[in-house]
Amino acid sequence: MIFGRSERGKPPVEPVTLKILVAGGFGVGKTTLVGAVSEIKPLRTEEVLTEAGRPVDDTSGVEGKHTTTVAMDFGRITLREDLVLYLFGTPGQDRFWFLWDELASGSLGAVVLADTRRLEDCFAAVDYFERRSIPFVMGVNCFEGSARYPVDEVRQALDLDDDVPVVLCDARDRESAKEVLIEVVQHAMAYGADRREPVTT
C-alpha cells in the first residue's frame, strides 16, 4: 500500500494516527532521532547558536553543536498499513518549555532521550511526563566515546519507576530509533489498559 491509497479492489485503509513526543535535554539527539526515522523530510526549526545565547545555552559536553531547535521538529513514520506515528521533537532549553504543554496535548506517549555523560539534563523532562501521567520510555542515546552502563544502573541513577522501559539506542540509526518508538506504543497501550482496569476490593 502507498500512504493514503489502497491496492485495486480493496477498500481504502484509514490509518490510526498517534502523536509521540521526543523530549530530553539540550543536544541529546532529539532532532537526529526524528530525522533518522521519519519517512518524510522532517520539519525542523533549528537556528544557529549565537554569542548572545552563550549564558543560557550550556554546551558542556556538546561543544560541537552549532544549532538548536527553537520550536519543534516534526516527522512521520508508518509502522503498519493502519498505524501512523506523528513525531514531535521538543526544544531542549528551559526558555522554550512554554511550548511543551501545546505539543503534549493529545499525545499517546513520549521518548525521553538521555546522554549518560549528562544524565541530569533529562531530569526536567522525566518530571514533566511523570507529573502529567503521560507514559514515556527512557531512550539512552549511546554516543561514541561515552561510557555504556547497564539498564538497571541508568534506571537507578534516574530514580525511574520499575514499569518505565529503559532502552539503549543510537538516535542516528533508523532501525534503532524505530525500536524505541515501537516500545513507546506498546508501553502506552499497557499503561492505558492498566488505568482502565476496575479496582477490586
Question: Of all helices (H) and strands (E), which one includes residue 112?
Answer: strand 109-114
Q: What's the rounded Cα separation, in Å, for the pair 158 and 38? A: 28
Q: Is 111 exposed, middle or buried (0-12, 13-18, 19+ CB in 10 A)?
A: buried
Torsion of CA 180, 184, 187, 191, to 10 degrees: 160
Name residue 69's beta-bridge partners: 46
pLDDT reported for residue 147: 81
φ and ψ at residue 138, rounded to 5 degrees: -90, 115
**Averaged over 90-119, what is the pLDDT?**
85
Work out the end-to-end distance of the chain between its first and last CA atoms, rounded to an integer number of angstroms: 49
Model confidence band, residue 95 (pLDDT cutoffs 50, 70, 90): low
Q: What are the structural domains, with CATH classification, of the chain?
A: 16-196 (3.40.50.300)
pLDDT digits (tens, 9 = 90+) for 11-20: 777 889 999 9
Phi and psi (nearest 5°) for 41?
A: -65, 120
- Residue 17 CA to chain centroid, in angstroms? 16
The pLDDT assigned to 37 comes to: 94
Rounded to 5°, the CA angle 180-108-73 comes to 65
> What is the arithmetic mean of pLDDT over 18-46?
87
Q: For residue 85, what are the β-bridge partners? A: 18, 77
- pLDDT at residue 174 in the model: 95
Q: What pairing do the DSSP bridges indicate for beta strands 166-169 and 136-141?
A: parallel
> Residue type at 195?
R
Q: Which of 10-14, 63-67, 93-97, 159-163 has the least mean pLDDT?
A: 63-67
What is residue 45's predicted lDDT score, i.e. its pLDDT?
Answer: 57
Q: What is the pLDDT of residue 199?
A: 52
Q: How far apart are CA 169 and CA 175, in angstroms?
A: 9
**CB 114, CB 92: distance < 8 Å:** no
What cell was used for 30? 532529539
Average pLDDT of the chain, as a whole number: 82
Is the pLDDT at 52 greater than 50? The verdict is: no
- pLDDT score, position 198: 60
